[in-house]
Structure 1
Amino acid sequence: MNPLPGDLFARRLRQERERLGISQAELARRMAALLGTNVDSTAITRIEQQTRAVRLDEAVTAAEALGVPLITLLSDNYALKNEAEIQNQLAELALAEQEWERLRRKIHRITQTIQQLAADRGAFRSHALDVNPESASDYELDPQTQAALDASTRDVRNKPTGEVTDPGI
């Protein structure tokens, strides 16, 4: 059988108060300051012992005084589920960052290879012209390949240093 909301509230109120290391008197003082009325520390004792029902305005104020969402005081495992989800998301983020770094390094290697190949092509073309200007056109790439290579090297040359492209993930 699931505990009643009042039972959960009483237990979670005590847990959160003790987690923060504050006394019942300190919690009562904080709540009184927020409510603008007197809150006796014995009221906190009786609420935690479940000998007194908590009023809605007290419940909201207690959560505020403890710095937690009200649902934390009404749910047995809200905080645990929330913490577990945060940890799962942090782990997923770490994996995504590792993958992003791996792809960034791959992009960098490919870019360097394209730059080297373009430089080699230019040197080869220049050498072919020096050796035999009439046959230099025999060493030309087909127009489609030449256009793709020129576009790739132009993109690489125009990219500011250190800029990383989105690898599409």
Structure 2
Amino acid sequence: MNPLPGDLFARRLRQERERLGVSQAELARRMAELLGQNVDSTAITRIEQQTRAVRLDEAVTAATALGVPLITLVSDNYARENEAEIQKQLAELALADQEWEKLRQQIHRITRTIQQLSAEREAFRSHALDVDPKTAGDYELDPETKAAVDARMRSVRDKPTDEVTDPDA
């Protein structure tokens, strides 16, 4: 058997009030301020204990004073649906956080690569400025690099012509 809306309201009013840390006296004060008339804290007690029916204007004002939609105070389904939506959103947030972390790492990797390439470019430019154009034709590679280049060129030259399709292979 489903509880009546008044029963649900009484139970949910107490749950939400306690969840928010609001006393019955504080809720009565807030409601009185919103309604422009006195609301006694014993009225809140009697509503929560289901010894007094709540009026519609009081129900709307209580929800407003607690900062929750009225449906929260009259429906158990709202709480379950709300919890399900929260769980769904938390799962989405976790996935988005994982994607963000992957992208952050990718950005970090790309940034490091750009920094390295920029440093190499600057070193090359600096070296190029140090080379005297008059003697540039006489420039010699260091012996280790020269030997590696010569070995590579010999292996390319020694291959039969039909095998030399890609010089970088």
In structure 2, the CA distance between the partners of 1:95 and 1:20, relative to structure 1 (3 Å rule), is same
Residue number in structure 1 paired with 2:18: 18
Structure 1 residue runs without a partner (length 5+): 134-169
In structure 2, the CA distance between the partners of 1:34 and 1:117, relative to structure 1 (3 Å rule), is same
Q: CA deviation at 1:61?
A: 0.9
For residues 44-92 of structure 1, the C-alpha deviation after alignment (integer angstroms, 9 at most, x for no partner) is 2332233443222211210122233323323332553454355335434
TM-score using structure 2 length: 0.58
Aligned match of 1:106 in 88, 106, 109? 109
Kindly provide the amino acid, as one letter, of the partner of residue 68 in structure 1.
V
Check the 8 A contact 1:72/1:79 in 2, yes or no.
no
In structure 2, the CA distance between the partners of 1:119 and 1:30, relative to structure 1 (3 Å rule), is closer
Kindly provide the amino acid, as one letter, of the partner of residue 108 in structure 2.
R
Quote the Cα distance in structure 2 between the aligned partners of 1:75 and 1:103. Answer: 47
- For the pair 1:97 / 2:115, whether they are aligned, the reply is no
For residues 116-140 of structure 1, the C-alpha deviation after alignment (integer angstroms, 9 at most, x for no partner) is 554466557x86x64428xxxxxxx
Q: CA deviation at 1:22?
A: 3.5
Quote the Cα distance in structure 2 between the aligned partners of 1:34 and 1:65. Answer: 8
- For the pair 1:48 / 2:53, whether they are aligned, the reply is no
Residue number in structure 2 paired with 1:132: 137
Q: CA deviation at 1:102?
A: 0.3
The structure with more radius of gyration:
2
In structure 2, the CA distance between the partners of 1:94 and 1:70, relative to structure 1 (3 Å rule), is same
Quote the Cα distance in structure 2 between the aligned partners of 1:3 and 1:111. Answer: 66
Quote the Cα distance in structure 1 between the aligned partners of 2:21 and 2:122. Answer: 68
Kindly provide the amino acid, as one letter, of the partner of residue 26 in structure 2.
E
Pairs aligned (count): 133
Kindly provide the amino acid, as one letter, of the partner of residue 13 in structure 1.
L
Quote the Cα distance in structure 2 between the aligned partners of 1:89 and 1:39. Answer: 43
- For the pair 1:62 / 2:37, whether they are aligned, the reply is no
TM-score using structure 1 length: 0.58
| Segments of 4+ moved more than 4 angstroms | 119-124
Structure 2 residue runs without a partner (length 5+): 139-169
In structure 2, the CA distance between the partners of 1:100 and 1:16, relative to structure 1 (3 Å rule), is same
For residues 137-160 of structure 1, the C-alpha deviation after alignment (integer angstroms, 9 at most, x for no partner) is xxxxxxxxxxxxxxxxxxxxxxxx
